[in-house]
Structure 1
Amino acid sequence: MLRILFLLITISCFPACKDDGLDKPPTTNPEDTVELSDTLIIPPLQEMVVYEVNMRAFSDAGTFSGIQSRLDNIQDMGANVIWLMPIYPIGEVKTVNSPYCIRDYRAVNAEYGSLNTLKALVSAAHDRGMAVIIDWVANHTAWDHPWISAHKDWYSQDGNGNIIEPPGTGWTDVAELNYESGSMRQEMIESMLFWIDEAGIDGFRCDAIDFVPDSFWNEALASLKAHTDKDLILLGEGGVLANFEVGFEMNYAWDFKTAIARVFSEGMSAETIISTHKSEYTKVLAGGEKLRYITNHDLYAWETTPIEDFGLKGSVSAFVITSYLGGIPLIYDGQEIGHPTNISFFDKNPINWSLNPDVYDAYKDIMTARAELSAVHYGEMKSYTSKDVVAFKRFTAKQEVLVIVNVRNSLKVFDVPDELANTQWKDVLADTDKTISSSVSLEGLQYLILVRDL
C-alpha cells in the first residue's frame, strides 16, 4: 500500500478521463472456452513457496501468456503458488495507472489478456502442480467504477454527502467503500466467487485487510470456503492476530523484513533476526504462518531494492535465512536475478532476465534443496546465533538441517556449541560430506546448508 504515497507527486502526470458509461460487469467473451485443469492438489501450507508476479515487469509482453511462457523459471524458484497482482481494468478518473485502482471486479484488464488467456495460464500452472491466487482489493474502488453512480451508498461520504478517498492515506485515485452496506458486502463476496468459478483460481491475496472490518472478512472467507471443495489459499496483507481469527492462514512478516535489513545494512546484532522471528509467531494462531520476504512489489517499487538493503551477494544470504528459518517464503519477480533498480508496477517495466545468472542459479539451488528437506517444512527450530552469524537448526525425529550464515562482509569465526561439535553432515549445495568441529570459518556473507538424517 506504500504505492499510493506517491500519488500527490504523480497525479498531475495523468489527466482524468470521462466515465465510459459502464453500468454492469461485461459478459464473458464467447471465445473464453478454455477447459480448466482439475489436476492440481493444493500444496500443504507448510510446503508453500509463493512467487509474486508483476505482469508489467515479468515479460516483454506484459500479459498472462508472457507468464505462461516462463512457468519453468517460476518452478526453478521452488514456487508452488503463483500470486498475480491485480488483473482488473484500471480506473481512468484521477488515475495514476495503479492496478490497485479497480474499475470492475469481474473483468480482466485487456492490457494483460482475456479471461481465456487467464484460464489458460491457470490450467498450465495446475498441470505443473502450481496453484494460482489473485490480488483482491476490498477497501476501495476507482472513481469510475459503475458502483459510484449506481450505488452511492456503497461508499463512505463526508458530511456534505461527497464520496471520499480513504481518510488519512493520500490515496486520491480511489474511493473508500462503506462496509455498513450489507448489499455492497454481498456483491463483493459474489465477485470473489466469480473468479473461483470462472477462472479456477485457488485463493486470494487480500490487500490492506486491516482497513476493512473484521466482520466482513469473517463473513467473506466463510462464504468462500463453503462454496468450494478446494482448500483455498488465503493470504492477507495484515500483521495482527485478528487476521487469523477471521480466517486468513497467512499474513505479513513486516517486522522480520525490517529486522533482517537492519542486521545486514546497519550492523545490528544477528540475534535480532531470531528474536523477531519468535516475537512474530506469538501473534499467529496454531496452523497459521507468516509470509517471509526480503522484498515485495511495494518495497521494490518505492523503497529500497534488495541490493540496497543487503548488497548483491548479501541478498542471497539474507534469502537463505528468510526461506529456511520458518514461515512461507515469498519471491518477487526480479529479486532472483538481483535486479539493481526499482521495479514499477504503474507502467510497463520489463525485467532483463539475463542479469546476474549466478544469482539465479544460487536461488535455484537453494530452493531445490529446500524442497527436499522435510525438517525445514515441518521441523522445530533451535537457534545458536551470535552477533555476526545466524545459525539455527530445523529438526524432526528423522532429520536435522543446520543453516549457518555470516551476515557480515568480512571473515567471521563461528564457535560451534558443544552439542554440534565434531558431528558429521552433508553439505546439500556442494553435495559433499562435512565435519563440524569446534569452530567454522566463514568468508564474508558465506552460507552453509547442512543436513543429516537420524
Structure 2
Amino acid sequence: MEWWKKAVVYQIYPRSFMDSDGDGIGDLQGIISKLDYLKELGVDVLWLSPIYDSPNDDNGYDIRDYRKIMQEFGTMDDFDRMLDGIHERGMRLVMDLVVNHTSDEHRWFTERPDYYIWKGQPNNWRSFFSGSAWQFDETRQQYYLHLFSRKQPDLNWENEELRHEVYKMMRWWLDKGVDGFRMDVINMISKDQSFPDGIDGDGTPHFFNGPRVHEFLQEMNKNVLSDYDIVTVGEMPGAGTEDAKLYTGPGRNELNMIFTFEHMNLDQGPGGKWELQPLRLTDLKENLEKWQVELYGNGWNSLYWNNHDQPRIVSRFGNDGEYRKQSAKMLATCLHFLQGTPYIYQGEELGMTNVAFASIDEYRDIETLNMYKEKRAQGMQHENLMEAIHAKGRDNARTPMQWDASENAGFTKGNPWIPVNPNYPEINAGNREETDSVFRYYQKLIALRKEVEVITEGDFKLLFREDEEVFAYTRQTADEQLTVYCNFSATPRELPVPKGCVLIGNYPPQENQGAVQLRPYEALCFFDGNKNGGMDRGKDGENG
C-alpha cells in the first residue's frame, strides 16, 4: 500500500505558526523549534503554505522567486536544517506548489511576457478577489489575466517552454529532498483559448477543469512526479467526483488525491461564501457519502475540515462555547474514520476557534478587505458585513498559533502581524496534557489509523440518512467493522447498540444496555473484528 494512504498531514501556515526572532512574523526557525511538538502529536507529513520569496500581496501565494526563501521566514540554510529535522523525526515535508500564477515582480513577467496571458480587449471575467480579472499594462498596452490579485498574473500553460521551466523547478525541490507537493488551484491552469464571456462575469466554466488540464498533469507526472516516491494533492475548486476519478484514478498517472470544496460550500447561499445560511446535516452527509462511495477503488479522498482559507470548524459546524471540546473531538472523529488521507490544520488539534475582531482595520486578508470595500460602496451595512467576516473570513484560520497563556499566546515576543485570538489563555498547547484535552484525542485518532486496517480499506455505508442531528456510518472489510456515531447537536439522542466494543469516544464511558445514549456532541466509534487491530484497545473503551 502507498505510504500516504495511512499518513496524517499537518498544515503549517508559517506566518502564524511560531516567531523565533521577535518581528511578529512566524518563520522557519520557529517551525524547527516546534518539530518535537508535531512528532508528539503523531503526524506523518508537514505541509507548509508558501515560504518562497514574495512581495506578500496574497501572503506568499504571489511568488517572486521559486528558488529563494522569503526573507521574513529565514534563509535556505534554515530550510535545509528544518528539512533535516523533519526527516530525523521520521516525518516528511510537502511544499505548496503555486504555478497557476506568479507575482508580477517575478523576472518572467518582464523577461518572458509570453509566459503569461495577454489580450488587446478583455472579456468580462471577474477576479476571485473582486473586480475585473484583467489589468491594463502601460508598457505593453495590453491587458493581462489575473484570476486572483492584480499582482498575481496567470501563467500561460499553453507555452511548452513555460511548462518545462515549472517542471525543472519542481525537480530542483524534490532533489533537495522534499516529499511532495500540495498544488494550489491546479485545475485552473488550462483556460478555454477562445476566452468567452462568462454569465455575470463568472469565467469558471472556462477554466475550472479546463480543456487540456489532464494532458498537462500527465505530462507533469511523466516529466517529474513518476521519478520520486512522493505524495501529490491538487487543490481543485469546482471539481466533482467524476473529475476526481480522472485526476486520482489508479493508472491515470496524474495526482494522488485532490481537495474538493463541495462540503465547504454547504453553509452558504446562492450569493456565495459571504451569504450565510445554516448547515443542514443531511446535505453534509449526502455529500460526504457521495465522495466516499464514488471514489472507493476509483481514486483517493483527502479529508479536511480546516485550512488556511477556511474558518475554524468548531465554530462553523460545532459549538465553540459550552461544548467546544466535545464538538471539536466529535468533528475530528467524524472525519478521521472516513476513507482517505486526513489533513489537520494548525490549532485544530487544540480546538482553536474563529475570532471576531471589532474593527475591519484588524483584518489582513486581501479577499476580506476587497470584499468589504466593494460591498460598502454598494451600500451594504457595516454590521452585516462584519457578521459575514466573523463567520467566513480567511483570517479566522490565520490568527497566531496559541502555544501557551503568556503574552501573545507564546507566538512572538514582538507585535504579531495579526492580532491573537483573545481566548488564548484558555485555549493553548500548554493545556495538552490534560486528560480531556483535544490534543490527546487527536493523538489517539492518529494512532488508530496506523493500527486498524478497516479505517484505510473498508467500504462506507451511511446510517440514519434522514436524521438532521446524527451523522452515523459503518466502515467494513471481510474481517472488521467500524460503526461511527456523531451527534452534531446539543440534544441527547438514543440509538441502537451496534456490534463490537467502544474503540474511542469523547466522553467518559457509560453502559449502553439496550440502546446507546448519545450525549450533546458525543462521538462514539465501535469496533468489531477478528484481528487484533484495535480489539485490545476497545475492551473497556477509550475516552477523551
Class of the TM-score when normalised by the shorter of the 2 chains: 0.7 to 0.9
3-state SS of paired residue (1:192)? helix
Identify the residue that residue 194 of structure 1 maps to in structure 2: 172
Written as runs of structure 1 = structure 2, the 5 A alignment for 1:347-426 is: 349-354=399-404, 355-356=427-428, 357=431, 358-386=437-465, 387=467, 388-416=469-497, 420=498, 423-426=499-502
State the TM-score, normalizing by the size of structure 2. 0.66
Secondary structure at the counterpart of residue 135 of structure 1: strand
Cα separation, 1, equivalents of 2:442 and 2:462: 23
Whole-Å separation in 2 of the counterparts to 1:376 and 1:287: 17
After TM superposition, the structure 1 stretch with the greater mean CA deviation from structure 2, 179-188 or 117-126, is 117-126
What is the aligned counterpart of 1:158 among 119, 122, 125?
Answer: 119
Q: Secondary structure of the residue that 1:390 maps to in structure 2?
A: strand
Match of 1:58 among 17, 25, 28: 17
**Alpha-carbon displacement from aligned partner over 1:380-401 (angstroms, at most 9, x marks no partner):** 2233235122222223333332
Partner of 1:102: 63
Deviation (angstroms), 1:203: 0.9
How far off is 1:260 after superposition?
8.8
Q: What amino acid is aligned across from residue 32 of structure 2 in structure 1?
A: Q
Superposition deviation, residue 308 in structure 1: 3.7
CA distance in 2, matches of 1:246, 1:282: 22
> CA–CA distance in 1 between the matches of 2:42 and 2:148?
38
Measure how far apart 1:429 and its partner are.
5.2
Deviates further, 237-246 or 319-328: 237-246
Contact persistence 2:8–2:43 (CA under 8 A): yes
Give the drift of 1:407: 1.2
Residue pairs, 1:254-269, within 5 angstroms: 254-259=261-266, 266=278, 268-269=280-281
Residue 297 to residue 179, structure 1, CA distance change in 2 (3 Å): same
**Distance apart, 1:145 and its partner CA:** 0.5
CA distance in 1 between partners of 2:267 and 2:485 (Å)? 15
SS in structure 1 at match of 2:157: coil
State the 1:225 CA deviation: 2.8
Q: Secondary structure at the match of 1:370?
A: helix
User: 2:217, 2:447 → 1: CA distance?
Assistant: 35
CA distance in 2, matches of 1:287, 1:130: 28
User: Contact between 1:50 and 1:79, CA under 8 Å: does it hold in 2?
Assistant: yes
Deviation at 1:325, TM superposition (A): 2.0
What is the 5 A alignment of 1:428-439? Answer: 428=504, 437-439=513-515
Partners of 1:49 and 1:260 in 2: how far apart? 26
Alignment of 1:187-266 (within 5 A): 187-197=165-175, 199-213=176-190, 214=213, 215-226=215-226, 228=227, 230-238=228-236, 239=239, 240-241=243-244, 242-244=246-248, 245=252, 247-259=254-266, 266=278
CA contact (8 A) 1:424 1:434 kept: no
Find out whether 1:330 has 2:294 as its counterpart: no
Cα offset, 1:340, TM superposition: 2.5
Assess if the C-alpha contact under 8 Å between 2:9 and 2:343 holds in 1. yes
Aligned partner of 2:418 in structure 1 is none
| Shift in Å, 1:439 | 1.7
- Displacement, 1:112? 1.6
Mark the CA change 1:287 to 1:428 in structure 2 (over 3 Å): closer, same or farther. Answer: same
Kindly tell me: are residues 106 and 250 of structure 1, through their superposed partners in 2, closer, same or farther at Cα, counting changes over 3 Å? same
Aligned-partner Cα distance in 2 for 1:57–1:345:
13
Corresponding residue to 2:91 among 130, 133, 146: 130
Work out whether 1:340 is the aligned partner of 2:340.
Answer: no
Aligned residues: 395
* Cα distance in 2 between the residues matched to 1:430 and 1:144: 50
| 2:521 matched residue in structure 1 | 445
Distance (Å, rounded) in 1 between the aligned partners of 2:262 and 2:163: 31
SS at match of 2:71: coil
Please list every run of 5 or more consecutive structure 1 residues that lacks an aligned counterpart in the other structure: 1-41
2:339 is aligned with 1:306: no
Cα distance change on mapping 1:282 and 1:415 into 2, 3 Å: closer
Give the counterpart of 1:180 among 158, 161, 182.
Answer: 158
> Residues 65 and 164 of structure 1: is their aligned pair in 2 closer, same or farther, counting only changes over 3 Å?
farther
CA distance in 2 between partners of 1:99 and 1:410 (Å): 43
For the residues of structure 2 that align with 1:405 and 1:427, how far apart are their CA atoms? Answer: 14
- Checking the alignment, whether the CA contact within 8 Å between 2:120 and 2:142 is kept in structure 1 is no
- Residue pair 2:53, 2:70 contacting (<8 A) in 1 also: yes
Paired with 1:88 and 1:79, the residues of 2 have a C-alpha distance of: 24
Deviation of 1:220 (Å): 1.3
User: CA 1:180 to 1:383, structure 2 compared with 1: closer, same or farther past 3 Å?
Assistant: closer
1:135 deviates by 0.4
Distance 2:114 2:494 in 1: 64
- Counterpart of 2:28, as a letter, is F
SS at match of 1:142: coil
Inter-partner Cα distance in structure 2 for 1:116 and 1:333: 24
The gaps in structure 2 that reach 5 residues or longer are 21-25, 122-139, 191-212, 270-276, 356-362, 367-394, 405-426, 432-436, 531-544
Cα 1:284/1:248, change in 2 over 3 Å: farther
Give distance in 1, aligned partners of 2:39 and 2:172.
27
Aligned match of 2:306: 295
Is the alpha carbon distance of 1:283 and 1:175 closer, same or farther for their aligned partners in structure 2, counting shifts above 3 Å? Answer: farther
Aligned residue for 1:289, secondary structure, equals coil
Which residue of the partner structure matches residue 33 of structure 1? none
- SS at 2:65 equivalent: coil
Q: Is the 8 A contact 1:414 1:441 kept in 2?
A: yes
Name the SS for the 2:438 alignment partner: helix
Q: Is the Cα contact below 8 Å between 1:393 and 1:403 reproduced in 2?
A: yes
Distance change (3 Å), C-alpha of 1:453 and 1:105: same
Partner of 2:77: 116
**Match of 1:298, SS?**
coil
Once the two structures are TM-superposed, the CA of residue 162 in structure 1 deviates from its matched residue by 4.9
**Aligned pair partner of 2:34 in 70, 88, 110:** 70
> Does the 8 Å CA contact 1:236/1:252 hold for their aligned counterparts?
yes
- Alignment partners' CA distance in 2, 1:341 and 1:102: 28
Aligned mates of 1:179, 1:232 — CA distance in 2: 23
Please state whether the residue corresponding to 2:170 is helix, strand or coil.
helix
Change (3 A) 1:334 1:233: same
